[in-house]
A = this chain, B = another copy of it.
Amino acid sequence: MIVIELSERQLKIIEIVKENEPITSEQIAQFLKVTRATLRPDLAILTMSGMLDARPKVGYLYSGNNTVSIISEHVKRTKVSEIKSMPVVVDEQTTLYDALVSLFLEDVGSIYVLSHGYLAGVISRKDFLKNIMGGTDIHKMPVGLIMTRMPNIVTTYPHETALEAAIKIIEHEVDSLPVVEKFEEKGKEYFKVVGKVSKTNITRLFVELGRQK
């Protein structure tokens, strides 16, 4: 997929077709005082992009389709594995206070809780605040008792696209997704945490894409 800045003449052609449709390439050439051969590449671009319709024996028509796809293959090909961050993980027995210390040291919004090395839960800034407001003793309470538990955690995989991850974040109203790899043992599924994708990663990707030329 490529992106092309329309030339003055191409924009003019669109205007001419809009006002005179259907119109033949010969008539457009007359309007612009150029030869049909000169116009051929312009008309090819405008029909390929879907801005004009070309009907045999009728001529060119304006498709009305001026909002065109803006997401390139580049965006569609950006994978979770390319934008993920390091996850911060703690054990189920960790107290809320110690988990909060990790949260601040690593400056993250969510912490993943592991049990025997596999994803067991997630705890966010919001969860901490909710419990503190409810009067929980952060020095005694282990994260395992207040975390959101599997299977109620929305996850993503390294091979998913950044777009798929962003859709999950918005639809499930979460701040981040653990990036996991699935293992099966005796018919049970286990998830290893290999990263994290948050709104920060998506915003950073948006900036990178926007800054390209």
**Which residues in B have their C-beta under 8 angstroms from that of A212?**
67, 69-71
25 contacts between A and B (CB under 8 A): A1-B5, A1-B68, A3-B49, A40-B41, A41-B43, A42-B44, A44-B45, A45-B48, A67-B74, A68-B213, A70-B74, A71-B209, A104-B126, A125-B129, A132-B132, A133-B138, A163-B206, A163-B207, A163-B210, A163-B211, A166-B207, A167-B210, A198-B199, A202-B206, A203-B203
User: How many copies are assembled?
Assistant: 2
Judging by beta carbons under 8 Å apart, are A69 and B206 in contact? no
**Which residues in B have their C-beta under 8 angstroms from that of A132?**
129, 132, 138
Judging by beta carbons under 8 Å apart, are B72 and A3 in contact? yes
**Which residues in B have their C-beta under 8 angstroms from that of A69?**
3, 212-213
- Binary per-residue interface labels of chain A (47-68) against chain B in the complex, 1 for a CB within 8 Å, 0 otherwise: 0110100000000000000011
Dominant secondary structure at the A interface: helix
Judging by beta carbons under 8 Å apart, are B74 and A71 in contact? no
Does A159 reach chain B (CB closer than 8 Å)?
A: no
Partner of A75, one of B7, B70, B198: B70
Would you give the shortest CB distance from A156 to chain B, in whole angstroms? Answer: 13
